Structure 1
């Protein structure tokens, strides 16, 4: 009998941030992102020097949970989501655990984009969404086998999600997305006139 199975799964975790608690006030989180962006002169200078559209705290502030209680509460909630995802992935963590390594703010204006990339020194990466105005960009995820497909024909339009070369995940405010850090991803141009605000993070094994 013919058998066709799907092997080497790529997992994507999506949940409401509040699902595992504690509750994080979304309005306070958004106002904190704006306040930090306005005060972070080093971050603004880095964005200008590197032609980064909008604002990111990635290269300037490495201690958001220490500086701002709202980010400490956010990490407390994210820890539970990452633990649930690690369980689904059946990681054997031994006597070590996954802990937050970096957490940073992203504010993308109209036309702003974040080019395709991976997070090579982490185990799990993700984003939680603070402001997603109508018409803003989804997260674009790339099949990790793409570079090996060589002479393969294109997939038919409307093929099953597990066979797509690219998957576009459109999260809502308050959602958290998690993926293994080797998964290539990008943020296409923000087509909304309003800013797209998110908080991204990496978890390492230690």
Structure 2
């Protein structure tokens, strides 16, 4: 009898935002995101200068939790989700807690993509989903060992999820996804006519 273990597991946390804290109304949150995007001329200019599709507040605003009460309420809920995930990851934080470093809005129009990237200098990163029109993009995660698989054959299409080289996760409105910040991820092209709206964040 063979003994085969799974080593060095990559964890992905998924839960409803409402699991921790007071429910945040998705319509109100979407309206707040669109309002910020409309007023953020610096963010609009950054997106234009960097040929970034749609809008992100990543390079322009660092005070969303102070601008509107709904973002402050969102932070309180996310703090609890991140603490729960940190426990699952068995992080030895002593008497410290992971704290929110930044929180930003993403509005991805039809045809827009977010290319593959990681989040340096952070511990846990994640996204909560505000508007996910029918047919919009999933989020794609890459096996972090991929650069070292020089001679590895392709995996079977029906391979167990834990053995695949890429995983696509289709979130629903109100979902929170969390992962360790070194995990490479991307958003493939949005093929829906409506905007795909999400809010991303880093904790360290």
TM-score interval for Structure 1 and Structure 2 normalised by the shorter chain:
over 0.9
SS of structure 2 residue aligned to 1:130: strand
**1:96-138, CA deviations, whole angstroms, 9 ceiling, x for partnerless residues?**
2101000000000001000000001100000000000000000
SS of structure 2 residue aligned to 1:189: coil
**1:141-188, CA deviations, whole angstroms, 9 ceiling, x for partnerless residues?**
000000000011001111000000000000000000000000000000
1:190 corresponds to which residue? 190
Q: What TM-score does the superposition give when structure 1 sets the normalisation length?
A: 0.98
1:49 corresponds to which residue? 49
SS of structure 1 residue aligned to 2:190: coil
Q: Distance in 2 between matches of 1:132 and 1:25?
A: 14
Deviation of 1:27 (Å):
1.2
Deviates more, 1:18-27 or 1:31-40: 18-27
Q: Distance in 2 between matches of 1:156 and 1:30?
A: 39
Q: List runs of 5+ in structure 2 lacking aligned partners.
A: none
Q: List runs of 5+ in structure 1 lacking aligned partners.
A: none
Deviation of 1:17 (Å):
0.2
Aligned residues: 204
Q: Provide runs of 4+ in structure 1 moved above 4 Å.
A: none
Deviation of 1:95 (Å):
2.2
Alignment RMSD, CA only? 0.6
Q: What TM-score does the superposition give when structure 2 sets the normalisation length?
A: 0.99
Matches within 5 A, 1:17-32: 17-32=17-32
SS of structure 2 residue aligned to 1:98: coil
Matches within 5 A, 1:91-130: 91-130=91-130
Q: Distance in 1 between matches of 2:64 and 2:20?
A: 21
